[in-house]
Amino acid sequence: MTPPQQLRIAIAGATGVVGRHVVAHARAAGHSVVPMSRGTGQDVTTGAGLAEALTGADVVVDVTSVLTTRTRPAVDFCTRATGKLLAAEQDAGVGHHLALSIVGVDGARRGYYAGKVAQERLVTAGPVPWTVLRATQFHEFAAQLVQRTGIGPVVAVPAGRVCTVAASEVGAALVALAEAGPSGRATDLGGPEEAELADLVRRWLAATGQRRRVVRVPLPGELGRRMRAGGLLPGPDADRGRATFGEWLAGDAAAVR
């Protein structure tokens, strides 16, 4: 299908959980796609390979991420990545920077969310016309959490309620925003239903045949308080994805096992 205007869309983090879906939706819509990750020679923290990749690009979608819960590495990564991307976009004449952030990051000073706050600040004050979409945790987050907490019979899951959304729907929303052009803060995107994060992890483990015990742990500190107070849930004006966690489990979950 040929879209009304065919764009050249450079996707930083193209191999990631949501990046793969951005690539697929952009290609399905007939756009020209430049997938970027370290495997294809682009490093957003050093700037390597960015000039070549961004030549002729209309929009850059930033869905890179760093695997950490610590403040300093998160802020360092987001600051460096956003700085290098914006500078390369400016040099290449790219007219739209589209970043994915997270519902509920406002005012975060610690942990991974502090990195997202730093990223948003740079993008919104930056030289390239921008859009920031905040989404809730993905359905895939249950799997990411288990994979990140390592092996062993017990999985510790932060206590708190979430409203997860399918990464595929977030990918589709990002492509629609790329087509719309710079829009500032887009309407937040959440999932169709609320749940306790530990329950989602239990359901994912059961659906993928893994026998591990899930322990719900009230996290200390800022993020723990935020999670228990419902601070990661979308507000009443948010757009809502349609696919429930159960539907995702029945379909795509095997792919992230």
Ligand X SMILES: NC(=O)c1ccc[n+]([C@@H]2O[C@H](COP(=O)([O-])OP(=O)(O)OC[C@H]3O[C@@H](n4cnc5c(N)ncnc54)[C@H](OP(=O)(O)O)[C@@H]3O)[C@@H](O)[C@H]2O)c1
Q: Nearest-CA neighbor of 164 among 96, 248, 100?
A: 248
The stretch among 17-25, 219-227, 234-242, 244-252 that binds ligand X (CB under 6 A) is: 17-25
* Pairwise CA distance, residues 168 & 166, whole Å: 5
What are the angstrom distances between the C-alpha of 61 and each of 1, 7, 164, 191, 202?
Answer: 21, 12, 21, 21, 32
Residue 239 interacts with ligand X (CB under 6 A): yes or no: no
Considering only 71, 82, 131, 137, the residue that binds ligand X (CB under 6 A) is: 137
Nearer Cβ to ligand X (42/205): 42
Stretch that binds ligand X, among 26-34, 131-139, 192-200, 227-235 (CB under 6 A): 131-139
Residue 41, both tokens: 């020679």
Q: Is 234 in the site for ligand X (CB under 6 A)?
A: no
Distance set, CA 86 to CA 19, 100, 123, 172, 252 (Å):
19, 15, 8, 23, 33
Q: Closest distance between ligand X and the C-beta of residue 229, in Å?
A: 18
- The pair of structure tokens assigned to 165 is 């959304």
Report the distance separating Cα 78 and Cα 64, nearest Å.
Answer: 9
Beta bridge partners of 134: 101
Residue 141 touching ligand X (CB under 6 A): yes
* Interaction of residue 197 with ligand X, rule CB under 6 A: no
Near ligand X by CB under 6 A: residue from 4, 39, 220, 236: 39
Q: How far is the CB of 240 from ligand X (least distance, A)?
A: 15
Residues that bind ligand X (CB under 6 A): 12-19, 37-39, 42-45, 63-65, 100, 102, 116, 135, 137-138, 141, 144
